[in-house]
Chains A and B, each alone.
Chain A
Amino acid sequence: MNYIDFKSPTQLDEARTLLKELGESAMPVAGSTLHVFLRDESPKVAVDIARLGLSGIRLVDGIFHIGATTTVTALHEHDQPGWVLDRVASEFVTQPIRNMATIGGSSVRVFPWSDLPVALLALNAAMVITGDEERTLDAETFFASQPFHHFALGDLLTSVRVPALTAGQGFAYLKDRRTSTDFSRCTVAAWLSLEDGKIAGVRVAVGAAVPMPCRMPDVEQALMGARPGPKKFEEAVQAGLDTARWKGLHGISDEYARHLASILIVDVLNRAHQEAKGE
C-alpha cells in the first residue's frame, strides 16, 4: 500500500470523523494482513482502528457479540458453551496471521480463500455497521457482493453477532487445501437444527470454489422437514449443487471444484447432524 500518512485514533467517533474527512483516501487498518493482496497503489492515509476498544466477545441473551477488531486468535481461544467459531479460527492460515487478523477485516473484504464469511453465512450472523446511525445487515445481505460496498464514508463494521449453538443444533466447518497454510480450494459450513428427529432448520454455505461465499438454497430446501441421514444428505446435495457457479482454484477444474464441494457438504452435514443429536 502507498501510505502517505497514518492516524491513530482512540475513540470510535474520532475514527469516523477522520474517515469522513479523508474520504476515498482513507484506509482503515486493524490487523494489516490483507494489504499484500490489495493492488491499489493510490496514495492512502492509514487509519489505525485497532485502538478503538472494539475487541472482545460477550454473550448477551444467547447471542455472541464479537467486536470487529477481535483477533482470530481470540476467536480460537474463546471457550464458552454454544461457541463454535474456534473451529473455524483453527483452520485460519498461520499462528502469526491469526494473532494479527481480525474478524472485521476478514469480513469486510472477501477473498476466495476467506474462512469466516462462509461460517458466518451458515451461522446466520448479523453484521453491525456504525455510521451516522447504527444498522445491522444479515450475513446473506452483507456477503451478497464485496461487503465494503455497503459502507458510506465514515462507516465502520463495529460488531459481528453470532447466535450461540443450543441443544438440538449442530455446526461444522471444513476446508480443503493442499497444505495447512495453503489457500483454500473449497470451504463449506453447515448449521442444522433438529425437532422430533426431523430437520427444523438448516443453512449450508460454500466458499473458495465459488466467486463469492454463498448459501445453497436448493440443498437447504431439499432438507427442510426431512429425516436426516447420510443418504438424504447426498440426495439433497446432488439435487441442489447447480444453484452455485463452481470455479476451480489452484490447479483444479470447475468440474472438480463442484465434485469436491459435493463431498465436503455431505461431510459437514453429517458432522452437524451428529452434534445436533448430541453425539
Chain B
Amino acid sequence: MKTITFTLNGRERSFDIEPDETLIDLLRRSNLTGTKRGCDTGMCGSCAVIMDDRAVNACILFAFQADGRTIETIEGVGDFDSPHPLQTAMADTGAVQCGFCTPGIVMTANALLRQKPDAAEEDFNQHLDGNLCRCTGYVKIKEALLSCSARAADKGDA
C-alpha cells in the first residue's frame, strides 16, 4: 500500500492504494458508485471522470496517476436535489433509459462545455464518440446536450 493525495470533487483527499489499482476501483470502494464499470478497456465511456478538466476513462487509468491531480466524478457535478443543468436536460428530454451510460455522458459533455461553452453538434459528435448507449439512438441525448450549449441559448432554444 502507498498513499496518494489528490483533489476529489473539490476536497483534498488521501487514499491508500495498491500499485495496480485502477481509478474506478478506488472510486467505487470509496462509495462513489456513480462512476460505472462497463467494458474495462476504455471503449464504452461509462466510467468517464474529469481529470484536470479533461474527460478520461477511470477503468484504464491507474489510481497512482491521479496523485496530485484534480478528479471530478458525477457525485461532484450535482445530485437529486440540485442537479447540474446537463442532468436536468437529460431527464427533461427523455435521454435516459436504463441510465447506466448517463454519468459518463454527463461527465464527458461537461468537460467539453468547459472547453467550448458554445459547442455545436459536431463537437458533441466528436467528444462523445467514446460514450456508448445501448438503449437510445443518441438522438435524445444529443438534443439534451445541445440545449445546454451557449449556442442554443443564443438562438433562444435553451
Contact = CB atoms under 8 A, between A and B. Distances in A.
Interface residues of A, number: 28
Interface in A96-112: 96-97, 99-100
Interface string B11-52: 000000001100000000000000000001111010010010
Nearest to A45: B19
A96 B67 contact: no
Interface stretch (A29-37, A122-130, A216-224, A261-269): A29-37
A90 B126 contact: yes
Interface in B93-148: 108, 112, 126-131
A94 interface: yes
A197 B55 CA distance: 46
A2 interface: yes
Interface stretch (A3-11, A14-22, A140-148, A229-237): A3-11
A178 B42 CA distance: 18
A233 to B, nearest CB: 30
Interface in B55-99: 55-57, 60-62, 64-65, 67-68
Interface string A74-93: 00000000000000001001
Given A32-B65, A36-B41, A181-B129, A99 B56 contact: yes
Contact of B65 (A2, A29, A73, A97): A29
B155 interface: no
A94 B65 contact: no
Contacts, number: 80
B42 A33 contact: yes
Contacts of B130: 93-97, 181
A180 B64 CA distance: 30
B129 A3 contact: no
Given A2-B20, A6-B19, A96 B55 contact: yes
12 contacts: A2-B20, A3-B19, A4-B19, A8-B67, A29-B65, A33-B60, A93-B43, A95-B55, A95-B108, A96-B48, A96-B130, A99-B54
